[in-house]
Amino acid sequence: MASSSSHSDIPVSSSLSRNLDVFVSFKSSDTRDNIVDHLFTAFSPQEISTYKYDPTVPVDKSIVHTLIKAIKDSQISLLIFSENYADSYLCLEELACIMKCKDERGLIVMPVFYHVDPKDVQKLTGKYGEALEKHELENKDKVESWKKALVDASSIAGWEVNHIANGNESRYIKEIVETILNRLNRL
């Protein structure tokens, strides 16, 4: 769950669960009122614990520390790559932390390509390439690690929502939740 580069659309709750099942990284303006809302609704009856933002809390770059703690407390990270995901400083910081936790402690990473071509993410082209060029101006020291994280994450087998159940959102939400439940049960 991440915000735009203006940091105005993603607030964070101040309290965290100890052992979260799933941390969802997403670009709020692209996904909050559709796939992400449906996922959180589907997680609830299954008692899948997730990290949720509090919309009343102001967002700034200091929130990264809270997000990193939530990622480290999670067993699975669900990456919702959407059209404007790479525009967000917070999304990219989350992603870098998620991939580091994958390498260091075996965090399970599950990408979802939400109306984006996985090749654009992996090859850093299209909107992803444009976003990274813009980040070069303000965050040059971080861009290389973000690029690596994007390439590595997009190389993991995931879901292309346009190719699951002919894009039927309720069906692919069900498939994602069932896969998460199966992975959690194995843990």
Higher pLDDT, 66 or 174: 174
> What pLDDT, on the 0 to 100 scale, is given for residue 154?
96
Question: 66-70, 74-78, 132-136, 163-167: which range is least confident on average?
Answer: 163-167
SS3 for the chain is: CECCCCCCCCCCCCCCCCCEEEEEEEEHHHHHHHHHHHHHHHHHHHCCCECCCCCCCCCCHHHHHHHHHHHHCEEEEEEEECCCHHHCHHHHHHHHHHHHHHHHHCCEEEEEECCCCHHHHHHCCHHHHHHHHHHHHHCHHHHHHHHHHHHHHHCCCCEEHHHCHHHCHHHHHHHHHHHHHHHHHHC
Sorted by where each starts, the structural domains of the chain and their CATH numbers stand as 20-186 (3.40.50.10140)
List residues with catalytic annotation.
Answer: 94
Question: 55-59, 113-117, 120-124: which range is least confident on average?
Answer: 55-59
> What pLDDT, on the 0 to 100 scale, is given for residue 91?
93
Q: Please, what is the average pLDDT of the chain?
A: 85
41-98: pLDDT as tens digits: 999 999 999 987 655 566 665 677 888 899 999 999 999 999 999 999 889 999 999 9
Residue type, position 79, single letter = L
**For the whole model, what pTM was predicted?**
0.85
Contact 148, 102 (CB under 8 A): no
> What pLDDT, on the 0 to 100 scale, is given for residue 64?
78
